[in-house]
Structure 1
Amino acid sequence: MTSEFDSKTLLSRAAHLIDLAKAAGADQADAVVVRSRSRSVSVRLGKVEGTEASESDDFSLRVFVGNRVASVSANPGFDMKTLAERAVAMAKVSPEDPYACLADEIHLARSYPDLELFDPTEVPTDDLRQAALEMEQAALDVDGVRNSSGAGASAGMGGLVLVTSHGFSGSYMATRFGRSVSVIAGEGTKMERDYDFDSRLYFADLDDPKTIGRRAGDRVVKRLNPRQVPTGKNLTVVFDPRIARGFVGHIAGAINGGAVARKTSFLKDKMGQQVLKSGLSITDDPLKVRGSSSRPFDGEGVKGERMAMIEDGVLKHWFLSTSTGRELGLPTNGRGVRGGTSVGAASTNLALEPGDTAPEDLIRSIGTGFYVTELIGQGVNMVTGEYSRGATGFWIEDGELAYPVSEVTIASNLKDMFMRLTPANDIDRKFGVASPTIAIEGMTLAGR
């Protein structure tokens, strides 16, 4: 792989597209190219099931005529003049949007650091195949594992080229390497399935295939012969870090400026108020070196900074792009993200900062509770905060994981869950959303 990969050519084409849009009557415009390259190999039971490769350069042009805006997209080979004229014609007949605009020039990134997002390592397809086979076999070698749902390995890269009519021009590329495996233990109606995976920007940082396979095998065997438990209230539920990352994602969704502007967040009126316990913080850092979701500038050319979104339990910021910020009367904080032909807001490297207690000690202090390893269903209402999910995991008895549990539902309200959350100290920051093990008091568990 090469990080340049003719980005200069793409920047030149984007700049020409801007010139054509202005010649056609646009007051302002920005042009984006989203680049993607990927290869993957999937195997099952020792045989290759699929080998895939894909490449794309997706162009989009956004034009402004007064307060009217329109966006169009195209694949390589399009006629640029026709595309620009079409976009401007669409904008002229579009309804006015008082919030849509380019980022203010004062916020644009004029320089940005090397975040080490690109690994030039070339991984042959045969090596991807071998890694997938090794993972699967290591999982199948675990005593009790009966079958495989498949394993896969991938290598790819993606990036952004952005040019605006008010002087921004930039590009970046990031690589991504991945390995995953899913296996089955037990037989008949007593079968259980589990998985493990790793994903990194740098190939050398990936976990060893055999290690990933053994972890998947160990996880699924521990789930065999689950029991049901009785319904109970005011129970402490512990989320495994893999599940806790999704829970932190709910926090991110609740403090997204777009949801706040639409009044679809249950935290929409909580700015400056306590939303987590004192001492807890949620941070977001787009400039983390080798960060999974790092970027030198956002989808509007704005350089973001590390921010404490929630500090000492108090909500301090929304995730904002320029348009969502305008709607809320606030400046962008560099969290703009391109979504098709539109710009929204999103987190980057998001983290629930860890506590001081080891997860084993946290579980020991609970005495009796439920440790969640998998959630089922989509029972989360971001407007009201109501939370109800099917779950599997392990019963906690006398401060230890005692036996596997399945077919239960856990429920509460996210407002209450946020205020009753206690993090352990075992955070792993390699993913775009990072969280340690977390314990949440006062939940309801519906069992037999």
Structure 2
Amino acid sequence: MREAMMNRYFTTLTGVLTLLSGLGAAPLLAAGPMESVRPTPRTAPILAAVVAETKAAAPEIEGDDAGLRAWVRAFRPRALAEGIVAELFDRTLDTVRYDEEIIRRDRNQSEFTKTVWDYLGTATSDLRVQNGGKALAQWQRTLEDIEAKYGVEKEVVTAIWGLESAYGSFRGSDHVINSLATLAYDARRAAFFEAELINALRILQAGDVEADQMRGSWAGAMGHTQFMPSSFLAHAVDWDGDGRRDIWGDDPSDALASTAAYLKHFGWTEGQPWGIEVALPEGFDYLLADRSIIKSAEEWTALGLTQLNGTALEAHGPASVLLPAGADGAAFLIYDNFTVIENYNTADAYVIGVGHLSDRIGGAGPIQQSWPRDDRALSFDERIELQTLLTEAGFDTEKIDAKIGPLTVNAVRRYQQARGLVPDGYAPPRLLERLRKE
């Protein structure tokens, strides 16, 4: 029997059983300053549902080469019906082998457990900024031409390049076809990876790359700026005019232009910042720090927001207030271009990372406001517990999935309002501790 198991499931199950039994605490992050005691829950069915949902989402799969080859034979008619040439299919998939390591990595993807300031410390480090300046200087003419065509600033394209592959240094070495076939054979996200495998075969069929050169991450993201096959087909361009859309080779031109084309497709506004740091006035209504509340510069200025130097806000377009670390952290006004970058990765930390790195490459300084550095990120178990306790207390998060998205943020706000706390939607460990005591 394969020993690679679903760490996420067992981590969650451990936390759930601990909550149900009241016998102790589940493991904490190494960065955790103290143990976290799990009380006996008041509504066991909610947690039981979490166990069932987690297990169903990530069932254990027994896999081997024979099973994968059988799957390939069953998959062949579906691929051919999508227009894949039989000879290409047979030649390309004849050599695929089941890769247990890929499934292990897919099962055990670590949850995003860094605070935003810790993430930015890596994503926008001085070294990454310096390397970004060097990369931009080396490819400046190309990036300027790309900017002229697509209207996406060269610093932004360079920043995505920097976060996705360290400016081409780490493009991935896994065979994409083998990775996608293994993941498609696995039942957990079969439909998604089957579609990506067919798209990868379409790329080969178009002649953009040979199969042995189609390398990327274990999950199928490819090249300098880590396009999935579907994104490649929709947005990749042949910038250098050699007849191929080559995002894999040492020359990054096609990849950089493809990234700009991608951002343009999703509505990039030339000249508009992704966001700016702002100073909030004393007595600011933190209920206004909501992505759904969008106002003009004049309206925000009337509410007391200013640039950090105290001057009036410039008119960059409609904006909303983002507080990624709550009332005690940096405050930003974010614009439509923030949403455009989210199409690459929806995590606020990633978008801020791209935006701030692009600013730093362009000569701006670090983020000036402080962060609540005594806080740490909640672990997976703790986020499950937070959502469970909020829901039990009458502040329904609608999903118990360990994802602190808009639904959970709004539930946190309602709880904070009801308890006379600052309603900033931020959930540090101390908020969870308060919920445990109620």
Q: Same fold (TM over 0.5)?
A: no
Q: When the two structures are superposed, what TM-score results if normalisation uses the length of structure 1? A: 0.26
Between structures 1 and 2, the one with greater helix share: 2
| Larger relative strand fraction | 1
Output the TM-score relative to the length of structure 2. Answer: 0.27
